[in-house]
Every structure is written in C-alpha cells, then in structure tokens.
Amino acid sequence: MPLLLHVLHVVGAVFVIGPTAILPMFALRAIRRGDDEGLRGLTRSFLVFSIGSVVVAAIGFGVMSTGEPDDNWSMATPWIAGSIALFAVAALLNLAVVYPALRRITRVGGSESGSRLYPLIAGASGISALLLVAVVVLMVAQP
C-alpha cells in the first residue's frame, strides 16, 4: 500500500498538478485571440485540475503517514512543512484568484473584461507556477 500511494502521489503531481501550471498560459492565449469557446473549456479544465491537485496533496499525507519508521518524516519536518505551505499558497492562488478571474471573463465574454483581468491571471498563475516548482525542488532534494 505505501508503494501504491507513493506512485499515485508522483503520477498525480505530474499529470494533475502539472496542468495547473500550464493551463492558465493557454487561457491567456485564448483571451488574446478572443476565443471565448476555447477559454470556457480551459476554465473548466483548470477548475477540475485545481481541485484534483488538492486530492494529490491529500494522497501525499497518506504517503507521509505510511512511510518507513527510519524516515522520521512528519509535518514538522522542514522540507515537508515548507512544501505544504508553498502548495497551499499555490492552490489558494489558483482557486481564489485565477479561476474566478477566468470564470468572470467566460461569463461576460469580450476582450474588455479579458484585457482588464489579464495581468491578474498572468501574475497569480505565474506565482503559483513558481511555487509549484519550489515544491518539486523540496520534494526531490529533501534538504
């Protein structure tokens, strides 16, 4: 079971959390092109992957709880605590800033609302992506 959870966590990180860093870039492109239909699909996909990323994080807690006793991992381990904090901020940015801004554009449509919200989406999603890179570094390096 511990191996299965570990595999699910790593695969989820790649195939579920990864798209949350990439989909906003495609959404920004759709905004620039005025592709309302494409933006609607990307917004829905972004929400699904963002919620899925929280599930992947929950699986990570399962991995931590089934670890080898010699690992001495806990939520107080600095690299784990740092990863949790950074991921929480990234998920919050995605679900509380990026998604609502994308959703607002899909509801209103048009380039005016898109151009007004474009910097917010670009900035928040860029910070979120950088935070996710930092999480990967901490998970791999385990300093």
Per-residue pLDDT of the chain (143 residues; tens, 9 = 90+): 788 988 999 999 999 999 999 999 999 999 999 899 999 999 999 999 999 999 999 999 988 888 666 667 778 889 999 999 999 999 999 999 999 999 999 988 766 667 889 999 999 999 999 999 999 999 999 88
- Buried-state track 38-66, b at ≥16 Cβ within 10 A, e below 16: ebbebbeebbebbebbeebbebbebbbee
d(CA 9, CA 75): 16
Q: What is the pTM of this model?
A: 0.90
What pLDDT score was predicted for residue 110? 65
What pLDDT score was predicted for residue 72? 74
What pLDDT score was predicted for residue 79? 92
What pLDDT score was predicted for residue 68? 67
Contact 52, 8 (CB under 8 A): no
| Local structure of residue 9 (DSSP, 8 states) | H
- 109: helix, strand or coil: coil
Using the structure block, give the residue that is written with the tokens 């399962």: 62
d(CA 97, CA 95): 6
What pLDDT score was predicted for residue 76? 84
What pLDDT score was predicted for residue 143? 80
d(CA 36, CA 109): 6
Instruction: Give Cα 76 distance to the centre of its chain.
Output: 23
Using the structure block, give the residue that is written with the tokens 């898109």: 114
d(CA 131, CA 109): 30
3-state helix, strand, coil in the chain (%, to 5): 90, 0, 10
Tell which residue, 115, 114, 98, has the closest CA to residue 106.
Answer: 114
